[in-house]
């Protein structure tokens, strides 16, 4: 037999095929994510603070990746419809969920859901956070938070605080404040911020922590005693943070928005999405859109976000159990 094995027709065909596959492999491996539109499930109606911000972020992410990021408003079920749609989607990064602390860390302790957020979702990134504002009616006797605490201690149950409902984050924050400050207030649940504003401005409710009230503070229709932020708000430089005051410090009470993907989504895809969110959060237009809502870009990557999510999930679960909070199914 003359010639080498590589000179036979069969061997030449094998080498040719191997070469073709070798050339094709990088192209297949390099198929970039995203290579088609990404759908962002969002649990609230159009027009809210984070929804406005999210749409600006989506525009920036489209510019960066060349693919559309579509905000899909899946309302209803206290956010469970949007989460369920995400959990049911293929774990490929093309359907993700963006929502607040409550849906991922509070609702699972209060309602029977067709999914388990900790089991069925994986965190991509923490995107933003807004901290509650300590607002009171104009004629409330206290002029500051320390006076507020003293008044509430002297008048157990007399102070009314309004929230967006039983089991809401505002409700749990009120429970944590009462325990931390040794006071007793009366919880008044509402269905939304609009009614809270109406009644507080009219003097029918003593206090609320809803940031929607800040615009009414600017108009002189309510007073800001302080904030739960790390530093004073730029628009309210005279209002101290709770951290500045010699009072017991309550447990974390900020509301964060995070991005989540179905469990099983490949880590490189999670990391790519996280990087795109981080890039968008640095854009001046995104930051400017947050300001009217006292919101701050507070990015955390997948691992750090997971630690925060786990801690808040445990904290709110404990508060709900200790306070005996239940909601009607």
- Average pLDDT value for residue range 21-37: 64
pLDDT interval class at 13 (50, 70, 90):
low
Whether residue 4 is predicted with pLDDT greater than 90 in this model: the reply is no
Looking at the domain assignment, is residue 15 inside a domain?
A: no
Look at residue 197 in the predicted model and tell me its pLDDT: 92
Same domain for 230 and 179? Answer: yes
- Residue 19: inside a domain, yes or no? no
Residue 104's Cα: distance from chain center in Å? 9
Q: What is the pLDDT of residues 187-203, one digit of tens each?
A: 999 887 889 999 999 99
Same domain, 112 and 77: yes
127 in the same domain as 264: yes
Q: What is the DSSP letter of 248?
A: P
Task: Tell how far CA 131 is from the center of its chain.
Answer: 12
pTM metric for this prediction: 0.79
Give the pairing type, strands 160-163 and 207-208. parallel
Same domain for 260 and 182: no
Task: Report yes or no on 53 lying in a domain.
Answer: yes
Residue 236's domain is classified under what CATH number? Answer: 3.40.190.10
* Judgement on whether residues 163 and 311 belong to the same structural domain of the protein: no
Higher pLDDT: 295 or 251? It is 295
> Do residues 180 and 316 both lie within one domain?
no
Give SS3 for 186: strand
- My answer on whether 119 and 200 are in the same domain is no
- Report pLDDT digits (tens) over 152-189: 999 999 999 999 888 888 899 999 999 999 999 999 99
Q: What's residue 194's pLDDT? A: 84
Which distant-in-sequence residues (6+ apart) come within 8 Å of 11 by Cβ? 5
- Same domain, yes or no: 103 and 46: yes
Give the pLDDT band of residue 53 (cuts 50, 70, 90): very high
For residue 135, give the 3-state DSSP assignment.
strand
pLDDT digits (tens, 9 = 90+) for 240-292: 999 999 998 877 667 899 999 999 999 999 999 999 999 999 999 999 999 87
What phi, psi does 172 have (nearest 5°)? Answer: -65, -35
Q: Strand, coil or helix: what is 155?
A: coil
Mean pLDDT on 80-104: 95
Over residues 122-135, the pLDDT tens digits come to: 999 999 998 888 99
Written as six digits, the tokens of 292 are 């009217």
DSSP 8-class letter at 156: T
**Total of domains in the chain:** 2
Highest-scoring range by mean pLDDT, 106-110, 211-215, 266-270, 289-293: 266-270
pLDDT of residue 23: 47
pLDDT of residue 29: 46
Contact predicate 201/222, CB 8 Å: yes
pLDDT of residue 229: 83
Strand partners, 130: 255, 295
Domain-embedded: residue 3:
no
Residues 126 and 143 in one domain: no
122 plus 173 within the same structural domain = no
Which CATH number do you get for residue 284? 3.40.190.150
DSSP annotation string for 252-308: P--EEEEEEEETT--HHHHHHHHHHHHHHHTSHHHHHHHGGGTEEEEEE-HHHHHHH
Q: Is the pLDDT of residue 24 over 80?
A: no
Q: Tell me: do 104 and 188 sit in the same domain.
A: no
The pLDDT score that the predictor gives to residue 169 is 87
Range of the domain at 73: 38-131+254-323
Do 186 and 238 belong to one domain? yes
What's residue 189's pLDDT? Answer: 92
Looking at the domain assignment, is residue 14 inside a domain?
Answer: no
Helix (H, G, I), strand (E, B) or coil at 159: coil
The kind and range of the H/E element at 49 are helix 49-65
Average pLDDT, stretch 206-231?
91
């Amino acid at each position: 037999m003359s010639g080498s094995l590589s000179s036979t027709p069969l061997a030449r065909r094998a080498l040719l095929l191997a070469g073709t596959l070798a050339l094709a492999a990088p192209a297949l491996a390099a198929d970039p994510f995203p290579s088609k539109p990404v759908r962002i499930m969002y649990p609230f109606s159009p027009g809210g603070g984070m929804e406005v911000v999210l749409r600006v972020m989506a525009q920036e992410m489209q510019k960066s990746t060349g693919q559309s990021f579509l905000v899909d408003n899946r309302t209803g079920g206290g956010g469970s419809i949007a989460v369920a749609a995400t959990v049911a989607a293929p774990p490929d990064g093309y359907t993700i969920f963006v929502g607040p602390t409550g849906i991922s860390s509070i609702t699972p302790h209060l309602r029977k859901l067709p999914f388990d957020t900790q089991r069925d979702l994986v965190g991509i990134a923490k995107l933003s956070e807004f901290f509650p504002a300590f607002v009171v009616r104009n004629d409330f006797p206290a002029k500051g938070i320390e006076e507020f605490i003293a008044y509430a201690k002297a008048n157990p149950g007399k102070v009314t605080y309004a929230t967006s409902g039983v089991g809401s984050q505002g409700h749990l924050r009120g429970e944590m404040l009462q325990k931390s400050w040794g006071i007793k207030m009366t919880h008044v649940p509402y269905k939304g911020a609009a009614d809270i504003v109406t009644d507080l401005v009219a003097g029918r409710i003593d206090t609320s922590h809803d940031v929607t009230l800040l615009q009414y503070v600017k108009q002189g229709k309510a007073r800001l005693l302080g904030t739960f932020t790390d530093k004073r708000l730029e628009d309210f430089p005279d209002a101290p943070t709770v951290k500045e005051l010699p009072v017991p410090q309550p447990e974390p009470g900020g509301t964060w928005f995070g991005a989540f993907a179905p469990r099983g989504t490949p880590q490189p895809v999670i990391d790519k999405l996280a990087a795109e969110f981080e890039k968008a959060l640095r854009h001046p237009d995104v930051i400017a859109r947050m300001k009217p809502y006292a919101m701050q870009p507070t990015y955390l990557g997948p691992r750090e976000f997971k630690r925060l999510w786990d801690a808040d999930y445990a904290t709110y679960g404990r508060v709900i159990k200790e306070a005996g909070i239940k909601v009607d199914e």
